[in-house]
Structure 1
Amino acid sequence: MKKILIIDDEVNVALLLSKFLTRNGFDVSTASNGNSGMEIMKNEEFDLVLCDFRLEDTDGREMLKKIKTQYPKTGVIIITGYSDIKMAVELIKMGAYDYITKPLYPDEILNTITKAIETRHALVETEERAPVATKVNKKQNLSGFVVGTSKASKELYRQIELVAPTNYSVIILGESGTGKEEVAKSIHLHSNRHNQPFIAMDCGSLTKELAASEFFGHEKGSFTGAFATKIGHFEMANGGTLFLDEVGNLSYEIQAALLRTVQERKVKRIGSTKEIDLDVRIIVATNENLTEGIQKGRFREDLYHRFNEFGIYMPPLRERGNDIILLAEHFLEEANKELGRNVTTFSADAVECFMNYRWPGNVRELKNIVRRAALISEGPEITTKSLPLEISNYRMPVVDFGQLQSNAEPQTAAVKEPRHDLKNAALEAEYETILKVLREVNFNKTKAAEILQIDRKTLYNKMKAINLK
């Protein structure tokens, strides 16, 4: 059970918060002033402290300094009034996770607390594993990103190490579920900004009406429903890193506003005339082909080039070889801690199923499968009985490249035992080469044709022949 300490000299507020959080599964303690709060922390370890900015014996700044000095693994959220918002933003830069403004709303409180605890645990786990963080031949956890032994994983980690110390904007490309946010966090944690905020936004869930307010913030009364001043994500991330997931889903109008903010390094809240200077590193992620979006007029080319100072490709799980088992073992450790189980290994048949399966949901799917298997496993070993039928019954088809070269429809391509003749080996090598070059140029077929030293029509024909879309 996660432990929370509430420090607030308003007895009614502390009591209401305590009852609400207790009902939601937290172990809650309260203190009426800063001194008594610090005394309680001497005897108990807390995951999170909710501290009012104005206390009778001190203020939020002093409390944050003391907590960060004496209990650096404990997260801090500041409770503040409207007049203290500017100071609350400064406290975030000093190490507070976030702030909550009065009046307090239950959903907002619970969401902020949950994210704060998850973030702190990820950071603590990263710090505990830090001594082996440079050895890429062993399993590592960089805020959720496990570095494997496959060639693709080593190259991915090399790129993270390369770009992290810079201020380059980064585009992370990859299928859904490959762990793009974990890589973004790893870049942040390896950068000079690691002590500053890491703010993540899911652009796929933003409506056109909400997007501007979420990005840039707004002043109280600036539009209908603006009952209080809101700090935007750019301002919250100032000094640190702003991660924009599924950036291809943003409307064209918001893209224009983003471009202006990124170019000028200034932000202005809705309803305000004051510009705020920004020092924010931007990392974006997408599972879409943004260059295709540019050609179709859905994504601004100038914004794309602002983001694309450095590109990272996230390989799908099916291309990571033995990393599948490495990741499965890591998720099994996590599941054992979460569920209080002692499932220690995978059977040989289960390992074979994992290696044969194509993992359309990638790392996210693997994690869910392992957690489920750990829960229902009847012994210390996960067997095929604990796996879903789509995995335990999966048989990897072997495609006859000779027939794919013919004019047959892709659906009728023969599936048979592998053939090891020279013709098929050459076709497979050609497939891998074309795919590799296309990825390197972000699926720009003109550039790919130039690198491959063939004309564009020939490239299209070869792609069609091997069913490469």
Structure 2
Amino acid sequence: MNKKILIVDDEISIGLFLSKFLTKNGFEVSNAISGAAAMEILSQETFDLIICDYRLNDTDGREILIKVKDKHPSTIVIIITGYSDVKLAVELIKLGAYDYITKPLYPDKILAAIHTALESQKSLKEIVLQANAKDVAEYETDPVDFICGQSEASCELLKEIHLIAPTSYSIILTGKSGTGKECVAKAIHSNSLRKDKPFIAMDCGSLTKELAGSEFFGHEKGAYTGALFTKIGHFEQANGGTLFLDEVGNLSYEIQAVLLRAVQERKVKRIGSTKEIDIDVRIIVATNENIALNINKGTFREDLFHRFNEYSIHLPSLKERGNDILIFAAKFLMVANLELNKKIKCFSEGVKTCFLNYSWPGNIRELKNVVRRLALLTDGNEIQVDVLPLELSNYTGREEKHKNGIEAINPSKALKNAAKEAEYDAILNALIKVNFNKTKAAQILNIDRKTLYNKMKGLKLNEAFKTEDR
């Protein structure tokens, strides 16, 4: 079946030219000479793609774009205009336009843009369908970091990733804590021309003023007391690739000034060296703060913000992704199975209901931790409601559970599970802190080594993380 295209242009000659050309190339074409006419046509039928002039007699392409995306979110929109404006192009793309083409119109260029857009839409749908079709067993052979979803929010996020990835733009990722900003940064890098070069992630929240220069730019041996060897900074490590700066809003004003110079001049100098090193780094930064407010407060440099903000992507919260919660949960269950050497196949319907109704204030990070704990507490092939943590098990209410035929939570059992989870977290954190040295971990926990060993055995931590007997 031929793809359907709607051309919206008040210049009749251009509309006829495009209509004849695209019809010859196998498309089914309709024309509208005004915004009102276009919306009337769209109220009666749908199109695969719309080519719309930006300036119309009764409206503009921006308004048409917004209305189309509201009523027909899967329809591709390409805007054409006689006025080249980069800011306008970026705004339209953020609103959902696939492309922005300036006049004069060249037939081959238009045709190439249409084919690319339709192929991109097809690829996007295939990616989403493939991700959604997977169960836990299939995920075991494909442990990817970034998970697609089928919700409108997830599809828009994926579209933005594929749009911006091939460019060299610096990007600001915004969103609540735990929404997966580093995973998105990695996905952008993996789909960019820099994918074969390093991806270096840096947590700005833990940086002190004293350490920042060394971490960003490195230092020479003997540059200061304690500099016992030459260190390569993160800018050099990421050269040719991508540098991801997490929690960038936490940087001090002094560090921002030094960082601005490196970003502007694309040169760095190790502490203790006079030699400048050329760098070619794409920068992606992430924040859960409102940087605009920080600029007004005088705690964040406006010039640095604009250097970073060549493009911005807002990550939706987990709750905004609807049924995608279950897709994420399936992936995290796969990871937990590998960690714990288990073969849990699925979640019960009651657990799925709780997952979908819970507010998930900690977003994807919270879901991942919850699934990990549930896997620890489950011995069979299916995760049941009775092992849910209290914050989830109480969320749907006892009446709803009885209504759905789900057995109410036993309070004493739930409390026991909560205590077990807390103990698991305390022991695991202690082990990580001392690189899984059991003797040192026991000292931190103020218990003897034998007690620690027995608790680890009971919690299956030896199996999960294959800790050495030391």
TM > 0.5 fold call: yes
Verify the 8 A CA contact 2:170 2:311 in the aligned structure 1: yes
Partner letter of residue 207 of structure 1?
Answer: T
- Could you say which residue in structure 2 is the equivalent of 1:271? 272
Q: Does 1:286 align with 2:287?
A: yes
2: CA distance, partners of 1:212 / 1:257: 8
Partner letter of residue 365 of structure 1?
Answer: E
Verify the 8 A CA contact 2:127 2:148 in the aligned structure 1: no
Verify the 8 A CA contact 1:138 1:148 in the aligned structure 2: no
Q: Give the gaps of 5 or more residues in structure 1.
A: 1-130, 397-469
The 4+ residue runs of structure 1 with deviation greater than 6 A are none
- Could you say which residue in structure 2 is the equivalent of 1:259? 260
- Could you say which residue in structure 1 is the equivalent of 2:169? 168
2: CA distance, partners of 1:295 / 1:302: 13
1: CA distance, partners of 2:304 / 2:189: 21
2:222 aligned counterpart, secondary structure: coil
- Could you say which residue in structure 2 is the equivalent of 1:54? none
Residues 102-148 of structure 1 show CA distances to partners (whole Å, capped at 9, x for unaligned) of xxxxxxxxxxxxxxxxxxxxxxxxxxxxx999622332779411110
1:136 aligned counterpart, secondary structure: helix
2: CA distance, partners of 1:162 / 1:249: 29
Partner letter of residue 381 of structure 2?
Answer: P
1:360 aligned counterpart, secondary structure: coil
1:66-215 to 2 correspondences below 5 Å: 135-139=127-131, 143-215=144-216
1: CA distance, partners of 2:172 / 2:354: 33
Verify the 8 A CA contact 1:143 1:182 in the aligned structure 2: no
Query: Root-mean-square deviation (CA), in Å?
Result: 1.7
TM-score with structure 2 length normalisation? 0.55
Verify the 8 A CA contact 1:222 1:270 in the aligned structure 2: yes
Are the structure 2 counterparts of residues 203 and 260 from structure 1 closer, same or farther at C-alpha, using a change threshold of 3 Å? same
Verify the 8 A CA contact 1:138 1:149 in the aligned structure 2: no
2:200 aligned counterpart, secondary structure: strand
Q: Give the gaps of 5 or more residues in structure 2.
A: 1-122, 133-141, 398-470
Verify the 8 A CA contact 2:253 2:299 in the aligned structure 1: yes
1:146 aligned counterpart, secondary structure: coil
Partner letter of residue 270 of structure 1?
Answer: I
1:219-230 to 2 correspondences below 5 Å: 219-230=220-231
Verify the 8 A CA contact 1:143 1:186 in the aligned structure 2: no
Q: Does 1:371 align with 2:363?
A: no
- Could you say which residue in structure 2 is the equivalent of 1:343? 344
* Percentage of identical aligned residues: 65
2: CA distance, partners of 1:133 / 1:228: 51
1:439-450 to 2 correspondences below 5 Å: none
2: CA distance, partners of 1:180 / 1:370: 20
1: CA distance, partners of 2:222 / 2:382: 59
State the shift of 1:330 in Å. 1.1
Are the structure 2 counterparts of residues 291 and 310 from structure 1 closer, same or farther at C-alpha, using a change threshold of 3 Å? same
Verify the 8 A CA contact 2:124 2:159 in the aligned structure 1: no
Verify the 8 A CA contact 1:331 1:367 in the aligned structure 2: yes
2: CA distance, partners of 1:383 / 1:135: 30
1:312 aligned counterpart, secondary structure: strand
1:139 aligned counterpart, secondary structure: helix
1:12-31 to 2 correspondences below 5 Å: none
2: CA distance, partners of 1:344 / 1:143: 19
Verify the 8 A CA contact 2:336 2:372 in the aligned structure 1: yes
Verify the 8 A CA contact 2:217 2:270 in the aligned structure 1: yes
2: CA distance, partners of 1:314 / 1:235: 29
- Could you say which residue in structure 1 is the equivalent of 2:466? none
- Could you say which residue in structure 1 is the equivalent of 2:391? 390
2: CA distance, partners of 1:214 / 1:133: 41
1:305-316 to 2 correspondences below 5 Å: 305-316=306-317
- Could you say which residue in structure 1 is the equivalent of 2:299? 298
Are the structure 2 counterparts of residues 356 and 200 from structure 1 closer, same or farther at C-alpha, using a change threshold of 3 Å? same
Verify the 8 A CA contact 2:171 2:284 in the aligned structure 1: yes
Paired residues in the alignment total 266
State the shift of 1:378 in Å. 3.0
State the shift of 1:181 in Å. 0.3
Verify the 8 A CA contact 1:171 1:311 in the aligned structure 2: yes
Verify the 8 A CA contact 2:332 2:371 in the aligned structure 1: yes
1:138 aligned counterpart, secondary structure: helix
Q: Does 1:352 align with 2:350?
A: no
1: CA distance, partners of 2:221 / 2:368: 42
Partner letter of residue 257 of structure 1?
Answer: V
TM-score with structure 1 length normalisation? 0.55
